[in-house]
Amino acid sequence: MNPLENIRIVLVEPKYGGNIGSVCRAMMNMGVTDLALIGRPEQFDMEEARKLAFHAEEMLNGIQIFQTLEEAVADCTVVAGTSARTGFYRDHAFLPREIAPVLLDSAAHHKTALVFGREDKGLFNNELAVCTHIINIPSSELYRSLNLSHSVMVCCYEIFLLANNPSYEAPAECSPEADGAMRERLYAAWSALMLETGFCEPEKLDHMMLGLRRIFSRGKLTDNDVKILLGLAKQSRWAASMKEREGFSQV
């Protein structure tokens, strides 16, 4: 299978139909054909989109629309979100050229995703938390903000270039990678563990979970890895509850 077919572009609540159409054209130029939108169907001006899609109209008919980002990437392994801002774990961002082999290697066997935020507000922190990697596209200080379709083109170009390099060979898969849905189960279990064991206060949980997500995203997380980590969280919660009960029984 062509790994480019496993690259999904996800647009979170795009404001302008023209940008959706321009993204379709940019994707087709680079051989990427899986497009998903986050929002309500009535939010999107598809007539305006058709005007700017030109010969990529067929992609408009195949667009998937999801209510949440979690739903859109539930079957994806690597989920790379773009952000122009810095700070709050964004300092660990990859360049498009650096993330291309990570996405392409996983796309040889699994669905992967590139996520782009709103034209005016980008991706919110809770949406970046769903991503396994963060991308920052360098641009001139004269005008830092890129048009949505330009951002998509830059990222897709780097992936297309690598995919068509004669020396590139996708690695063989020894153990399947965990998809988004499985990772979210893991994060929910560890979130509960940190609260129940008193590792962190509720008001600090979101910040702590962003750090934990970043740690778990530094390398490939396989199904077996997640099963072990889920088992560890479950057993630790059980041990903590038993210790608490013993404490009560001694009072």
CATH number, domain at 84?
Answer: 3.40.1280.10
pLDDT score, position 6: 96
Lowest-pLDDT range of 29-43, 44-58, 113-127, 235-249? 235-249
Residue 175 lies in a domain: no
Last residue of a domain, one of 134, 163, 192: 163
Same domain for 189 and 235, yes or no, is yes
Looking at residue 18, its amino acid is G
Give yes or no: residues 135 and 22 share one domain: yes
Q: Distance (Å, rounded) from C-alpha 60 to C-alpha 45?
A: 11
Quick one: what percent of the chain has pLDDT higher than 70?
94
Q: Are residues 147 and 191 in the same domain?
A: no
Residues 158 and 216 grouped into a single domain: no
| pLDDT-derived band at 90, boundaries 50, 70, 90 | low
Of 11-20, 69-78, 99-108, 168-177, the one with minimum mean pLDDT is 168-177
Which of the pair, 170 or 59, is modelled with greater confidence?
Answer: 59
Model confidence at 249, pLDDT cuts 50, 70, 90, reads low
Do 152 and 198 lie in one domain? The reply is: no
Same domain, 125 and 226: no
How high does pLDDT run on average in the chain?
A: 89
Give the integer Cα–Cα distance in Å for 156 and 34: 12
Contact yes or no for 16/120 (Cβ under 8 A):
no
- Label residues 50-72 b or e (16+ Cβ within 10 Å = b): bebbeebeebbeebeebeebbeb
**Are both 16 and 136 inside the same structural domain?**
yes
* Apex 155 CA angle, 154 and 159, nearest 5: 115
**Could you tell me if 41 and 142 lie in one domain?**
yes
pLDDT band at 177 (very low <50, low <70, confident <90, very high): confident
Q: What is the mean pLDDT of residues 35-45?
A: 95
- Domain end call among 163, 193, 222: 163
Is residue 103 domain-shared with residue 155, that is, in the same domain?
yes
Question: Higher confidence at residue 217 or residue 66?
Answer: 66
- pLDDT value, residue 86: 63
Q: SS3 letters for 105-162?
A: HHHCCCEEEEEECECCCECCHHHHCCCCEEECCCCCCCCCCCCHHHHHHHHHHHHHHH
pLDDT interval class at 87 (50, 70, 90):
low
pLDDT at residue 228 greater than cutoff 70: yes
Query: Which pTM was predicted?
Result: 0.83
CB burial of residue 40 (10 Å; 0-12, 13-18, 19+): exposed
Which one is predicted more confidently, 218 or 82?
A: 82
Report which of 191, 192, 222, 227 is spatially closest to residue 207, judged by C-alpha positions. 191
Average pLDDT over residues 139-160: 94
Spell out a b/e string for 148-181, using b for 16 or more CB atoms within 10 Å of the CB, else e.
Answer: bbbbbbbbbbbbbebbeeeeeeeeeeeeebbbbe
Name the least confident of 109-113, 153-157, 194-198. 194-198
Same domain, 59 and 135: yes
Is 89 inside a domain boundary? yes
The answer to whether position 73 is within a domain reads yes
The answer to whether the beta carbons of residues 148 and 14 sit under 8 Å apart is yes
- For residue 58, is it within any domain? yes
Whole-number CA gyration radius for the chain: 20
Instruction: Count how many Cα atoms sit within 13 Å of the Cα of residue 8 in the half-sphere of its side chain.
Output: 27
Mean pLDDT within 130-157: 93
pLDDT, average across residues 156-170 = 91
Query: Do 103 and 150 fall within a single domain?
Result: yes
Q: Are strands 7-12 and 34-38 parallel, antiparallel or unpaired?
A: parallel
For residues 217 and 133, state if they share a domain. no
Interhelix angle 180-196/205-216, nearest 10 degrees: 130
Q: How far apart are CA 201 and CA 199, in angstroms?
A: 7
In which domain, by residue range, is 64 found? Answer: 3-163
Stretch 200-223: mean pLDDT:
85
Q: Does the pLDDT value for residue 108 go beyond 60?
A: yes
Within a domain: residue 168? no
Q: Quick one: 75 exposed, middle or buried, by C-beta within 10 A (0-12, 13-18, 19+)? A: middle
Number of domains, the chain: 2
